[in-house]
Structure 1
Amino acid sequence: MSRLAPAGDEGDPVDAVPYDLIELLFFAYRDFTGDPDDVLAEYDFGRAHHRVLHFVERNPGIMVTDLLAILRITKQSLGRVLKQLVDAGIIEQREGPHDRRQRLLYTTDQGRALADDLARLQQNRLERALIGLPDGADKVVRRFLLQVIDPEARDDIIELIRSSYDLKD
């Protein structure tokens, strides 16, 4: 593979940019999402469908407005993806118990099975990545990923993901 980072003279500020970390994150994301992509293609779904399915499965009864905030996408984008997932019998919408205008999202049995299959693929990749690393490496990886997230969003994300690990250490 050729050098992907721009060439620079020794001491050039461009050399201070951690291009290797940037590129490793790109490639890691590509492969991490690539495993589920093959399964999603069988449904004519893409990564947007995967993200919606993941967060609905992890947060049964989530409101559409909360899902929009998590995914940081437009209502129009979510509407298109959500319609396809509902039409395919993967997700169902229910009225709120106190406000019939409120739309609460749940996975169906088929949706839960698909979400579990996709998560298992990603779990296997993470387990393979952690094998051979020193004890406690998973905690360092969690901390690193948390540090990549905007500081003002970290507490909300920690609460959302309900990790069994203390991420604030």
Structure 2
Amino acid sequence: MTLSPSRDAAGADLLFLREERLRLAQTLMFLVGRDMAEAVAPVLEEVGLGRAHHRVLQALAFSPGIPVTHLQDILGVTKQSLGRTLHELEARQYLETRRGRNDKRQKLLYLSTAGKAAEARLFAVVRQRLVTAYREAGGTAVEGFRRVMRGMLSEHSRSLLAEEPSGRREVSHGS
């Protein structure tokens, strides 16, 4: 597999829908996923966590105070699988649970101070990669990237972004 960066500016030609360009995009997404997993692996190993734990930390950083069922929906995992991961995070004191205000049976999930610190260390690795790539690409390309990523989301995933309870919304500020 040969990956050579395009010499033309993003969207400069009208041939971006050609099969080879689409396959290259698929390959790039695969490699980015693999490389990002490799980049955070040393931090995960150091804190004694796995990828499932990382996914939970990411989701709770994005949506603090969500019910377990909503987290299960976001991650697309079984209740049993999520339960094991949540118990491990609770045992390590990375996770706090609180009762719902209106429904006391509801279990709301938050990162503890230790959980926030672990998630911040993991995000620092991701942030550095993003900052480097964003600076190299420039604001116009970053906005195009966001549009492409949003365009690839299913309606269900888009609704998860729209429901994000922490009050934060993506704001475009250029690069």
On whether the aligned pair clears a TM of 0.5, the verdict is: yes
Of residues 94, 103, 108, the one that matches 1:104 is: 108
Deviation at 1:158, TM superposition (A): 4.3
Q: Deviation digits for residues 67-99 of structure 1, max 9, x if unmatched?
A: 111111110110011111000010011222333
Say which structure, 1 or 2, has more relative contact order (CA 8 Å, 6+ apart). 2
The two structures, once aligned, show a CA RMSD in angstroms of: 2.3
1:100–1:152 Cα change, 3 Å: closer
Q: Identity of paired residues, percent? A: 35
Q: Could you list the runs of 5+ residues in structure 1 that have no partner in the other structure?
A: 5-14
1:94–1:163 Cα change, 3 Å: same
1:28-47 aligned at under 5 Å gives the runs: 28-47=32-51
Question: 2:128 matched to 1:145?
Answer: no
Partner of 1:163: 170
TM-score (ref. length: structure 2) = 0.78
Partner of 1:89: 93
Which range moved further: 153-162 or 105-114? 153-162
1:135–1:102 Cα change, 3 Å: closer
C-alpha separation in 1, matches of 2:163 and 2:108: 20
1:165–1:159 Cα change, 3 Å: farther
Letter paired with 1:100: K
Partner of 1:59: 63
Question: 2:24 matched to 1:20?
Answer: yes
Deviation at 1:32, TM superposition (A): 1.8
C-alpha separation in 2, matches of 1:152 and 1:40: 29
1:159–1:95 Cα change, 3 Å: closer
1:158–1:165 Cα change, 3 Å: farther
TM-score (ref. length: structure 1) = 0.81
Partner of 1:126: 130
